[in-house]
Amino acid sequence: QLQLQESGPGVVKPSETLSLTCSVSGDSIATSLRYWAWIRQSPGKGLEWIGTIFSTGKTYYTPSLGSRITISVDKSKNHFALKLNSVTAADTAVYYCATRPRVDVPVALWGQGTLVAVSS
Amino acid sequence: IQMSQSPSTLSAFVGDRVTITCRASQNINNWLAWYQHKPGKAPKLLISRASILESGVPSRFSGSASGTEFTLTISGLQPDDFGTYYCQQYNSYSPMYTFGQGTKLEI
């Protein structure tokens, strides 16, 4: 059964880089053709899709984050990663990883989420 | 594509019928999903393609569409239905998607 689990530091200092990983179990990220995504929820706000990577490595990012975001896949570790640089308090959020097999179906499988606070 | 969801909060009693509305800024050809999100948990997919109930989702949940306006209806509200409900626009050609602002349902 495919499962996702986010991990990473709970606190990041302003102007530094937020780094999270999403561990995939129950399937191989190297061989399964899926879309792997990051979604966040800032305090008091709604869900925000921030980016997706396909198993081939092609990436899609929300325009609002500009060049600050990078999503990558590590096939040897069976996980995918999020890096968000130059963070500010506005990047404080619960970050979820999620996946779907095709673009014409909505995301049905999510991790439990991890809270990242940007604070000095 | 912008998704406008209303109301932002909703209070109702057990047994009530409640309706949440989501409007798309342009035609999305019913590529619309509804999620239920509870604190500390992952969002749960309820409905896809505007009206297709996901397996295991109680039949008191239903979705409908009229042009760019979409509706989630819960008939016979249960205590476990509290949470925040989101609509989400997706499509058949791009991995990008957009959520509505959410509706917090208080029982």
pLDDT at residue B28, rounded to an integer: 95
Average pLDDT, chain B: 96
pLDDT of residue B94: 87
Mean pLDDT of B25-46: 96
Peptide bond into B7 cis (omega under 30): yes
**What pLDDT shows up at residue B92?**
85
pLDDT tens per residue across span A12-45: 999 999 999 999 999 999 888 899 999 999 998 9
Task: Name the band, by pLDDT with cuts 50, 70 and 90, for residue B10.
Answer: very high
Q: What is the pLDDT of residues A45-90, one digit of tens each?
A: 999 999 999 988 999 999 999 999 999 999 999 999 999 999 999 9
pLDDT over 90 for what percent of chain B?
91
Q: Are A17 and A84 in contact (CB under 8 A)?
A: yes
Residue B75 distance to chain A (closest CA, Å): 23
Per-residue pLDDT, B93:
87
Contact call for B48 and A105, based on CB within 8 A: yes
| Interchain CB distance below 8 Å, A110 and B98 | no
Beta strand A18-25 pairing with B61-66: unpaired
Task: State residue A32's pLDDT score.
Answer: 86
Residue B92: list chain A partners with CB under 8 A: 103-104
Is residue A34 within 8 Å of A90, Cβ to Cβ?
Answer: no
Residues B80-94, mean pLDDT to the nearest whole number: 94
Contact between A24 and A73 (Cβ < 8 Å)? no
